[in-house]
Chain A
Amino acid sequence: MELFQHTYMQRALIGALVIGLAAPALGIYLVQRRLTLIGDGIGHVALTGVGAGLLLNRSPVLVAVVVATLGAITIELVRARGRTSGDLALALLFYGGIAGGVMLVGLSDATSANLVAYLFGSVLTLSAADLITIVVLGAAILITTLALRPALFAVCQDEEYARVSGLPVRTLNLLLAVATAVTVTIAMRAVGVLLISALMVVPVATAQQVTRGFRSTMTAAMALGLFAAGAGVWVAATADTAPGASVVLLAIASFLVVALAAAGWRLLRRRATPAGAPAPEPHEVVLR
Chain B
Amino acid sequence: MTAPVITVTHGVIGYDGRPVLRDVSLTVTAGEVVAVLGANGSGKSTLIRAVLGLVPLVAGSVELFGTPLRRFRQWRRIGYVPQRLGAGGGVPATVREVVASGRLARRGMLRPPGRADREAIDDALRAVGLADRAADPVATLSGGQQQRTLIARALAGRPELLVLDEPTAGVDAASQEAFATALRDFVADGGTVLLVAHELGPLRPLISRAVVVHQGGICHDGAVPEPAGHHAEPDHDHVHPHGPDEPAGLWSS
| Cβ-defined contact, B104 with A150, below 8 A | yes
| Cβ-defined contact, A164 with B78, below 8 A | yes
B interface, over-half SS: loop
Task: Tell me which residues across on chain B come within 8 A of A148, comparing CB atoms.
Answer: 109-110
Rounded to whole Å, the gap between the CB of B183 and the closest CB of chain A is 18
Known contacts A165-B101, A285-B238, A157 near B54 by CB under 8 Å = no
Give bound CA distance, A160 to B98, whole Å. Answer: 14
| Cβ-defined contact, B91 with A281, below 8 A | no
Q: How many residues of B contact A (CB 8 A)?
A: 52
B89-127 interface with A by 8 A CB criterion: 89-94, 96-98, 100-105, 109-110, 113
Of the 9-residue stretches B6-14, B21-29, B34-42, B170-178, which lies at the interface with chain A?
B170-178
With beta carbons under 8 angstroms apart, the residue of B97, B137, B238 that contacts A153 is: B97
Give bound CA distance, A89 to B132, whole Å. Answer: 47
Task: Tell me which residues across on chain B come within 8 A of A205, comparing CB atoms.
Answer: 251
Give bound CA distance, A219 to B249, whole Å. Answer: 22
With beta carbons under 8 angstroms apart, the residue of B94, B171, B242 that contacts A213 is: B94
Of the 9-residue stretches A5-13, A30-38, A240-248, A268-276, which lies at the interface with chain B?
A30-38
Rounded to whole Å, the gap between the CB of A52 and the closest CB of chain B is 33
Give bound CA distance, A253 to B73, whole Å. Answer: 49
Rounded to whole Å, the gap between the CB of B51 and the closest CB of chain A is 10
| Cβ-defined contact, B109 with A167, below 8 A | yes
Known contacts A33-B90, A158-B85, A284 near B101 by CB under 8 Å = no
Interface: A4 (CB within 8 A): no
Give bound CA distance, A201 to B91, whole Å. Answer: 11
| Cβ-defined contact, A158 with B90, below 8 A | no
Complex: chain A residue closest to B96, CB-CB? A213
| Cβ-defined contact, A215 with B75, below 8 A | no
| Cβ-defined contact, B90 with A166, below 8 A | no
Give bound CA distance, A164 to B75, whole Å. Answer: 6
Rounded to whole Å, the gap between the CB of A170 and the closest CB of chain B is 13
The residues of B with any CB-CB pair to A shorter than 8 Å are 52-54, 73-76, 78, 80, 82, 85-94, 96-98, 100-105, 109-110, 113, 135-137, 142, 153, 157, 170-173, 237-242, 249-251, 253
